[in-house]
Amino acid sequence: MESKIESKYDCLHNHLFKFIIVGDSCVGKSCLLMRYASDQFTESFVTTIGVDFSVRVIELDDKIIKLQLWDCAGQERFKSIVTSYYKGAHGVILTYSITNRLSFDNIKNWYVDCKNKCNKNVNFMLVGTKLDLEKNREVSHKEGEELAKQLGANFIETSAKLDIGVDIVFTELAKLTMNTFIIPKLKAKEEEKNNINLSNSTNFSKNKKFKCC
């Protein structure tokens, strides 16, 4: 279950996840973020300078999750700035436009860069944008699926303009993050607790003296 929580609860959360959105310039990263964070879309294009930042709070498995969403500029001249924001990321959204072959070909470069600078177990979503421009498609859906398989990433095509698949991108990444970073820690704590209880119980039995009739 996933739903938006009112802003007055934004400070109350069980977990904090950091996601970064990367990819070439003009592939629609900012539009993807704007649609998800504020349910808005604009045709006007303004180049992201460095990074842009948004927050959204969701409910997932009865837990309140605060998502920090970082839109990283795609231009080479900003690379030294944006890579500093990769540190600590739990999830990466690799974006390309289905109407731009070069942006798809560059995905592996973005992947390697993030793999080297993000968390060790960082999760990846491969996202093909601008699905509303199907008539101008240069990258097939099958090619996207095959690349995602190579990278070990989940894959989806989206349209920020028509609001197709946008929520799924962030919800699925949040689920992956929960399973990768949170669930194992909770299980480890529970196992440690059980081991302590078992140890205490064993020690008690050894030290207890019984009287024979």
Three-class secondary structure of residue 180 per DSSP? helix
Can you give the pLDDT at residue 99? Answer: 98
- C-beta separation of 114 from 91 below 8 A: no
Q: How many helices (H) and strands (E) does the chain have?
A: 7, 6
Size (the chain), residues: 213
For range 100-121, the mean pLDDT: 94
What pLDDT shows up at residue 1?
A: 40
d(CA 186, CA 198): 18
Q: Is it the case that residue 53 has pLDDT exceeding 60?
A: yes
- Residue 140: count of CB within 10 angstroms of its CB: 12
Question: What's the pTM?
Answer: 0.83
Asked if 160 contacts 32 with a C-beta cutoff of 8 angstroms, the reply is: yes
pLDDT of 119 reads 85
Give mean pLDDT, residues 80-94.
88
Strands 51-60 and 63-72: antiparallel
Worst-scoring range by mean pLDDT, 120-134, 135-149, 196-210? 196-210
What local confidence, expressed as pLDDT, does residue 185 receive?
Answer: 76
Give the separation between CA 134 and CA 99, rounded to whole angstroms. Answer: 8
**Chain mean pLDDT for the chain:** 86
Question: What percent of the chain stands above pLDDT 70?
Answer: 77
13-22, 35-44, 73-82 — which is least confidently predicted? 73-82
Q: Which of 87, 124, 103, 137 is closest to 29 using CA atoms?
A: 103
Measured CA angle at 111 (ends 55, 81), to 5 deg: 60
Residue with tokens 């436009």: 97
Instruction: For residue range 175-197, list pLDDT tens digits in order.
Output: 999 999 998 877 776 666 666 55
Judge whether residue 17 has pLDDT over 70.
Answer: yes
Average pLDDT, stretch 100-106?
98
pLDDT reported for residue 166? 98
CATH number of this structure's domain 7-192: 3.40.50.300
**pLDDT exceeds 90 at position 201:** no
